[in-house]
Structure 1
Amino acid sequence: MSKTVIVVIDGFGIGAMPDAGALRPGDIAADTCGHVLDHRAAAGRPLRLPTLGALGLGVVHPHPGLAATTALPVAVGRAALGYPGADTFAGHQTMMGADFSRVTVARLAEHLSEVTHALKAAGHEVSPLDGRPLLVVDGAVLVHDNLEADPGINWNASGRLEDLPFDRILAIARTVRSVAPVARVIAVGGHADGPLPAYVRDGDGGTVGLDTPATGFYRNGGLQVQHLGAPVDHTRQLPDVAARAGIPVTLVGKAADILVCEAAVRRPCVATADVVARTLEAVRAPGPGLVVANVQETDLAGHQQDTERYGDVLEQTDAGLGALLRLLDGAGDRLIVTGDHGNDPTIGHAYHTREYVPVLMHRPEAPSLTRLPDASSLTSVGQAAATSLGLTM
């Protein structure tokens, strides 16, 4: 009758991976956790993270603001990402058991001919925009590099809902997805302040795309988004394996948007208070269960380069984890806290950072602290959860 809960603190890294500087040399200094702690200490208001400290965060990330040991029965370590770049979708798919190690990082410019051919074969009108490496489809939808993630991680198909319904934007995105080598193709429909070509700009690494925040999509209401990931056999991922074994599955927050499991109860939300409340609700339900929850507001604070907000969200998350610990106290229960990549708000840009993430696993029946070796991939998190549930992925 045990429960296993995975809480992914989105964008919570604990130090740069050795290859973090390959794209941006400055990223070799990335340390999301450490720099947020330093920021608050310098302001004279040290972060209060008693639960993360008790779960062993200071063991895997030594810092004056964290306890260096813990009396709780936890297994602690850190994991490399196990996929190229630093991306929420790829991180969660990898964590749940997919192999994203071969997903390509590519600019749309490198695949314009294949994408153009696929769209024309599907009956669409396609032309470049002013000779630049992005496409105008049916006179209304822009297919372009995503400028909000690392260069070459994702492509977008963006359209104004004043011009066409979202299902047509999505159909175009699905055709692009059929030939795209990148981790995600994202269909985006919203209400813009003006014609979309006015918001096209150059990005980093030779990318060209739509400056989505500048369009007004995020502030004008009615935004519709669907993420189309690289092909994944979801039947071999943890949520589906658990559901087929008769274990109730609940997906909370961003996890409800990006993980596939037809049998799962979905609780999409963004506010951390809502993520905590819906996770606690799922844990309080009788019987066994698997809960996967994503705390998204840390990642949003990282993108906004708002170190203060990041710390506030961490403290709120810590309080929620404390409430979870009080419920998950039976033999066989598991609370696993981790991240999907880094997002250092002090690094000087608004992209994710390629960092190790913590793996903090509470095991009520265990006798003491266990230090885990470094894992080469986030798949170790899903595998640990599967083991606790008696499953094989």
Structure 2
Amino acid sequence: MSRTVIVVVDGFGVGAMADAGALRPGDLAADTCGHVLDRCREAFGRPLRLPVLGALGLGLVHPHPDLARRTQLPVAVGRAALGYPGADTFAGHQTMMGADFSRVTVARLAEHLDRVTQALKDAGHRVELLDGKPLLVVDGAVLVHDNLEADPGINWNASGRLDDLGFDGILAIARTVRTVAPVARVIAVGGHAGQPLDAFVREGDGGTVGLDTPASGFYRNGGLQVQHLGAELDHTRQLPDLAARAGIPVTLVGKAADILACEAALRRPAVDTAEVLAHTLEAVRADGQALIVANVQESDLAGHQQDVERYGRILEQVDAGLAALLSLLTEPGDRLIVTGDHGNDPTIGHAFHTREYVPVLIHRPEAPGPELLADATSLADVGATAAAALGLDPAALANGTEIRGAATRAA
């Protein structure tokens, strides 16, 4: 009974896509993997210790002096374009699981203020603009605003200090906004900040205005609570639901537990990387066939904080966790798939995601040796490839095609 484990290293890109500079021309130089390797060598006085990622073929996808250029492991390696607009975790994961994300709209809150305000008032809330800006203050405690961490118009946030209002109250406001929002996701965010949140409001790219969440201290002060409310999608045509209907146990770990839909799934939410890896290992050790999707979020947080050294330490921690997973996934048909959902280059000069290709590293115990894969046109192809490994029909997904080998065999 085969097990398929997808480990998504959030924000781990391997070089800019051709259209990466459409919003910010400087993003054409984005290379999360390469820049983190370079800067960490300078900071630590040694290369990052990534023997497992090297053995899985990362150096074949992204040649670099600090990565192995050859591997003898039975891996299939390539890279994937994102296959959705912008660079966003929710859109990336939904696409990877096989969703058709083509009809979600990119929109600034300013374009929908009247409609959002009316929906909130109809729900009994008090709503006002913040100092005339296109940003709403709800019940004097929660800001409804453009998300400044993704590309403009991809997501909206409902953010509040937990000292002012409990997370259930913040989430209720976000749910009301979701009923009228055309964007990919509305994110309810509760945390702790030393000042009122209006002190951290700033303008973003493309005419957006919102809370600078990293500057607020939410990510570093502890107690962060987040829930992602996604656009309406046909989740029955995504990989987790498809697997569950076939009787395959599904476990969603880390941020994947927050943003992926599957009523039958066992959910193990976590942010701490050690906890994410521990939950993933626990799920792999269970008997029988399995689909496990795990998201390592702290790499993405390090990117937003523009903290290269933290990013490097997270990669080393992930590498050690992958070694433990490989030691368990040894049966014919088992799959370990390591990939990303977008880039988040901490050296690029801003705190946004970067639109980059992501690695697709697939360990296949029964294969005779390494193989190079053709570039995938979408992250949906990763989900389709995982479906095929589980004996499921990739055509049952709303989007995606199984990734095939390129003409050249890896050395």
Classify the TM-score, shorter chain.
over 0.9
* Aligned twin of 1:2: 2
* Aligned twin of 2:366: 365
CA distance in 2, matches of 1:7, 1:163: 36
Compare 277-286 and 40-49 and name the one that shifted more. Answer: 40-49
Asked whether the 8 Å contact 2:174–2:186 carries over to 1, the reply is: yes
CA distance in 1, matches of 2:302, 2:163: 30
Judged with a 3 Å threshold, the aligned counterparts in structure 2 of structure 1 residues 306 and 82 are, in CA distance, closer, same or farther, namely: same
* Aligned twin of 1:26: 26
Q: 1:191: how far off?
A: 4.4
CA distance in 2, matches of 1:248, 1:70: 32
CA distance in 1, matches of 2:342, 2:215: 26
1:210 aligns with 2:211: yes
User: Number of residue pairs matched?
Assistant: 393
CA distance in 1, matches of 2:90, 2:229: 10
Q: 1:149: how far off?
A: 2.6
Judged with a 3 Å threshold, the aligned counterparts in structure 2 of structure 1 residues 199 and 40 are, in CA distance, closer, same or farther, namely: closer
Q: 1:142: how far off?
A: 2.1
CA distance in 1, matches of 2:319, 2:217: 33
After superposition, give the CA deviation of every residue in 1:93-126 in whole Å (9 maximum; x if it has no partner).
1111112233222211122122223333434333
**TM alignment of 1:158-173, pairs within 5 A:** 158-173=159-174
1:289 partner letter: A
* Aligned twin of 2:311: 310
After superposition, give the CA deviation of every residue in 1:14-66 in whole Å (9 maximum; x if it has no partner).
00000101111111000111111222334530122111111111111112222
1:238 partner letter: L
Compare 128-137 and 191-200 and name the one that shifted more. Answer: 191-200
Compare 310-319 and 353-362 and name the one that shifted more. Answer: 310-319
Q: 1:217: how far off?
A: 4.1
* Aligned twin of 2:76: 75
CA distance in 2, matches of 1:66, 1:258: 32
1:125 aligns with 2:140: no
**TM alignment of 1:192-341, pairs within 5 A:** 192-218=193-219, 221-341=222-342
* Aligned twin of 2:404: none
* Aligned twin of 1:16: 16
Q: 1:259: how far off?
A: 1.2
Judged with a 3 Å threshold, the aligned counterparts in structure 2 of structure 1 residues 332 and 310 are, in CA distance, closer, same or farther, namely: same
Judged with a 3 Å threshold, the aligned counterparts in structure 2 of structure 1 residues 371 and 39 are, in CA distance, closer, same or farther, namely: same
1:38 aligns with 2:38: yes
Q: Secondary structure at the match of 1:100?
A: coil
Asked whether the 8 Å contact 1:83–1:102 carries over to 2, the reply is: no
2:299 partner letter: T
CA distance in 2, matches of 1:38, 1:197: 37
Q: Cα RMSD over matched residues?
A: 1.9
Asked whether the 8 Å contact 1:90–1:100 carries over to 2, the reply is: yes
After superposition, give the CA deviation of every residue in 1:137-176 in whole Å (9 maximum; x if it has no partner).
3343321112233222211122344544433332221221
Q: Secondary structure at the match of 2:49?
A: coil
Compare 134-143 and 354-363 and name the one that shifted more. Answer: 134-143
Judged with a 3 Å threshold, the aligned counterparts in structure 2 of structure 1 residues 219 and 66 are, in CA distance, closer, same or farther, namely: closer
Asked whether the 8 Å contact 2:7–2:337 carries over to 1, the reply is: yes
Asked whether the 8 Å contact 1:341–1:353 carries over to 2, the reply is: yes
Structure 2 gap segments, 5+ residues each: 398-411
Q: Secondary structure at the match of 1:281?
A: helix
1:25 partner letter: P
Q: Secondary structure at the match of 2:253?
A: strand
Q: Secondary structure at the match of 2:171?
A: helix
Q: Secondary structure at the match of 1:155?
A: strand
2:350 partner letter: H
Structure 1 gap segments, 5+ residues each: none
Q: 1:212: how far off?
A: 3.2
After superposition, give the CA deviation of every residue in 1:65-116 in whole Å (9 maximum; x if it has no partner).
2222321111111100111111111111111111223322221112212222
CA distance in 1, matches of 2:186, 2:374: 35
1:389 aligns with 2:390: yes
CA distance in 1, matches of 2:125, 2:260: 30
Judged with a 3 Å threshold, the aligned counterparts in structure 2 of structure 1 residues 214 and 362 are, in CA distance, closer, same or farther, namely: closer
Q: Secondary structure at the match of 1:158?
A: strand
CA distance in 2, matches of 1:192, 1:29: 34
Compare 139-148 and 92-101 and name the one that shifted more. Answer: 139-148
The alignment's TM-score, normalised by the length of structure 1, stands at: 0.94
CA distance in 1, matches of 2:137, 2:156: 14
CA distance in 2, matches of 1:315, 1:305: 17
1:319 partner letter: A
Judged with a 3 Å threshold, the aligned counterparts in structure 2 of structure 1 residues 159 and 38 are, in CA distance, closer, same or farther, namely: closer
Asked whether the 8 Å contact 2:149–2:353 carries over to 1, the reply is: no
Compare 292-301 and 354-363 and name the one that shifted more. Answer: 292-301
* Aligned twin of 1:111: 112
CA distance in 2, matches of 1:306, 1:385: 32
After superposition, give the CA deviation of every residue in 1:266-307 in whole Å (9 maximum; x if it has no partner).
112222222222211111111111111111121121112111
Q: 1:203: how far off?
A: 2.2
CA distance in 2, matches of 1:114, 1:27: 34
Asked whether the 8 Å contact 1:156–1:173 carries over to 2, the reply is: yes
Asked whether the 8 Å contact 1:255–1:292 carries over to 2, the reply is: yes
2:21 partner letter: G
The alignment's TM-score, normalised by the length of structure 2, stands at: 0.90
CA distance in 2, matches of 1:218, 1:2: 37
Judged with a 3 Å threshold, the aligned counterparts in structure 2 of structure 1 residues 139 and 40 are, in CA distance, closer, same or farther, namely: closer
Asked whether the 8 Å contact 1:10–1:88 carries over to 2, the reply is: yes
Q: Secondary structure at the match of 1:64?
A: coil
